[in-house]
Amino acid sequence: MTASTLKTFGQQLSRRSWAEPWKIKAVEPIHMITQEERLRALGEAGYNTFLLRSEDVYIDLLTDSGTGAMSDRQWAGMMMGDESYAGSKNFYRLEGAVQNYYGYQHMVPTHQGRGAEHLLSQTAIKSGQYVPGNMYFTTTRLHHELAGGTFVDVIIDQAHDPNDEYPFKGNVDLDKLESLIKEVGAENIAYLSLAGTVNMAGGQPVSMANVRQLREICDRSGIRIFLDATRMVENAYFIQVQEDGYADKSIAEILKEFCSCTDGAWMSAKKDNLVNIGGWLAVNDFDLFDALRNLVVVYEGLHTYGGLAGRDMEALAIGIEEAVQDDHVRSRVGQVLYLGELLLDWKIPIVKPIGGHAIFLDARGFYPHIPQDQFPAQVLTAQLYLDSGVRAMERGNVSAGRDPQTGDHRYPALELTRLAIPRRVYTQAHMDVAAETVKTVHDARQQTSGLKMVYEPKNLRFFQARFEPLDMVGQHE
Ligand code: P61
């Protein structure tokens, strides 16, 4: 075939195309407001995409959290909600699904991931202890800190380099972990906080070999491993396609094997588990479970609902089953890959390899002329929105926040803008529009200038911070 006859994306890449394993039954109309309206909306939002009204957004790639489409089975399940205060049958369905697919013995539901992080941190961290982990996540680290812990990043160095193509950039550096144990003593380590895939590194997976080695080290030192299983199904997919010996195992088998190397997990079910709200925390140790069960009633709700309605737990139990289907995961990660490959083709700087849930644009690569304290990744989110109403999220200096000791910005190595893909929501045509938006903004990169932060909240500042373009700061004063 000649280049002009290579029409589909699969043909262009010399492979057969994949298609989504579902068809669309209900649609939600979206439309793009005018450029003038977008400029006004962004100004009113203080140049922060978290503060935009969703009606003013065309393609919403802010997050893959709670933004997925539920299946007809899940919607049918919503009608089967048993809204009893205690002992709802939907709780037992959910408990069974977690036991069956993740393999842990005891589970408490929570309203979402950070509810579970709160309970685990308050229960398993003693003030003054260290919590090593494979790169920080905003809410996770904050809960470590609120419990008196100090997070220590023990991810491999390659994870901080957007151009390093190592396939398991979520791995823990064993030497870094062992040095920490030697330096502070195992008794001063609360637990290993392991995430699969690693969100802030670009959705990068952890290998099975790595978690096995971690189990060995932690067994030797008596340290527990708790897993942030939020996107662990996607992690299992990368193991299936990239790690020797796993090509013939199902996602479900790989997921369970990985979890068996850990002592428990917390979950933001709004991602992998295909629901709009929900979370859970599951452990094997009964005493720890007992402590968690005692705390959940203080902050979330009774231990058999944890902040969720019966119908939410039913949809979640069904979501867990659907999430581990191989064809679902292949098309979900395949859609992310599709967008990423378009951008790579145009030589646009993105985090490589392409991760599981999102494309991360390297804002330093776009704007080498904008210093990090003028927030290049925030600038990039603003430009994408102005171009065509595509909403992305800053994952750089604003997200990293300030060092509690020095009070200065943390200046992370990665200054990224994330285009997260909701599950089962957008089509390939939406990905094409998003890709062309990124290209247009990239083409105009030299004319772009920085932002000044004019309002800064104390906690998780990226959610509510406000900015003004530097060339107009003062105009309103
Ligand atoms: C996200 F800007 N993630 O990626 P909750 N662990 C992990 C997550 O990705 C995660 C949570 C725990 C979000 C929502 C969000 O800085 C932000 O259910 C790996 O959101 O409480 C959430 O789970 C917390 C966006 C969270 C952010 C924090 O878009």
Beta-carbon contacts of 433 under 8 Å, excluding residues fewer than 6 positions away, are 59, 388, 390
pTM over 0.75: yes
As a whole number of angstroms, the distance between CA 231 and CA 66 comes to 13
Determine the residue of 230, 276, 316, 423 to mutate for testing ligand 1's pocket, defined as the one with the most ligand atoms within 8 A of the Cβ atom.
Answer: 230
| Residue matched to tokens 């039913």 | 314
**Going by CA atoms, what residue is nearest to atom 9 of ligand 1?**
199
Return the ligand 1 atom nearest residue 115 CA.
Answer: 21
Q: Using alpha carbons only, what angle is made at residue 472 by residues 375 and 56, rounded to the nearest 5 degrees?
A: 70
Return the ligand 1 atom nearest residue 62 CA.
Answer: 29
Distance 183 CA to ligand 1 centre (A): 31
In order along its 477 residues, the chain shows pLDDT tens digits of 566 677 887 888 788 888 999 999 999 999 999 999 999 999 999 999 999 999 999 999 999 999 999 999 999 999 999 999 999 999 999 999 999 999 999 999 999 999 999 999 999 999 999 999 999 999 999 999 999 999 999 999 999 999 999 999 999 999 999 999 999 999 999 999 999 999 999 999 999 999 999 999 999 999 999 999 999 999 999 999 999 999 999 999 999 999 999 999 999 999 999 999 999 999 999 999 999 999 999 999 999 999 999 999 999 999 999 999 999 999 999 999 999 999 999 999 999 999 999 999 999 999 999 999 999 999 999 999 999 999 999 999 999 999 988 999 999 999 999 999 999 999 999 999 999 999 999 999 998 999 999 999 999 999 999 999 998 654 444
Beta-carbon contacts of 178 under 8 Å, excluding residues fewer than 6 positions away, are 217
Cβ atoms within 10 Å of 4's Cβ, excluding its own: 6
How many C-alpha atoms does 299 have within 13 Å on its Cβ side? 20
What ranges in 232-285 are assigned the alpha helix state H?
Answer: 232-242, 251-259
* Strand locations in 213-302 (E): 225-228, 264-268, 279-283
User: What residues flank ligand 1, with Cβ below 6 Å?
Assistant: 63, 65, 112-114, 137-140, 195, 199, 228, 230, 268, 270, 279, 393, 399
Determine the residue of 139, 266, 395 to mutate for testing ligand 1's pocket, defined as the one with the most ligand atoms within 8 A of the Cβ atom.
Answer: 139
As a whole number of angstroms, the distance between CA 24 and CA 223 comes to 47
The residues with which 266 forms a beta bridge, in sequence order, are 228, 281
Helices (H) and strands (E) in the chain, counts: 17, 14
- What is the model's pLDDT at position 244? 98
Q: How far apart are the first and last CA of the chain?
A: 63
Residue 361 tokens read as: 């644009």
Distance 230 CA to ligand 1 centre (A): 9
Q: Using alpha carbons only, what angle is made at residue 159 by residues 158 and 162, rounded to the nearest 5 degrees?
A: 90
Cite the active site residues: 85, 137-138, 228, 271, 395, 462
Return the ligand 1 atom nearest residue 112 CA.
Answer: 18
Residue pair 232/198 in contact (Cβ under 8 Å)? The answer is no
Distance 276 CA to ligand 1 centre (A): 13
Distance 32 CA to ligand 1 centre (A): 27
Which DSSP string do the residues of 113-175 spell out, in sequence order? Answer: HHHHHHHHHHHH--TT-EEEESS--HHHHHHHHHTT-EEEE-B-GGGG-TT---TTTT-B-HH
Distance 443 CA to ligand 1 centre (A): 31
* Strand locations in 305-463 (E): 358-362, 390-391, 393-395, 416-420, 451-455
Residue 321 tokens read as: 């089953």
Return the ligand 1 atom nearest residue 279 CA.
Answer: 18
Is residue 468 within a helix (H) or strand (E), and if so which, with residue range?
strand 466-469
As a whole number of angstroms, the distance between CA 186 and CA 255 comes to 28
| Residue matched to tokens 């991810």 | 155
b/e per residue 332-349 (b: at least 16 CB within 10 A): bbebbbbbbbbbeeeebb
| Residue matched to tokens 């004019």 | 454
**Going by CA atoms, what residue is nearest to atom 20 of ligand 1?**
113
Determine the residue of 268, 273, 414 to mutate for testing ligand 1's pocket, defined as the one with the most ligand atoms within 8 A of the Cβ atom.
Answer: 268
- What is the model's pLDDT at position 286? 98
Residue pair 47/466 in contact (Cβ under 8 Å)? The answer is yes
**Going by CA atoms, what residue is nearest to atom 17 of ligand 1?**
138
Helix 251-259 / helix 89-102 crossing angle, nearest 10 deg? 90
Return the ligand 1 atom nearest residue 358 CA.
Answer: 4
Distance 181 CA to ligand 1 centre (A): 28
Q: Using alpha carbons only, what angle is made at residue 101 by residues 96 and 102, rounded to the nearest 5 degrees?
A: 100
As a whole number of angstroms, the distance between CA 190 and CA 1 comes to 59
**Going by CA atoms, what residue is nearest to atom 25 of ligand 1?**
63
Q: Give the Å distances, CA to CA, from 471 to 170, 371, 375, 447.
A: 39, 15, 14, 12
Distance 5 CA to ligand 1 centre (A): 43
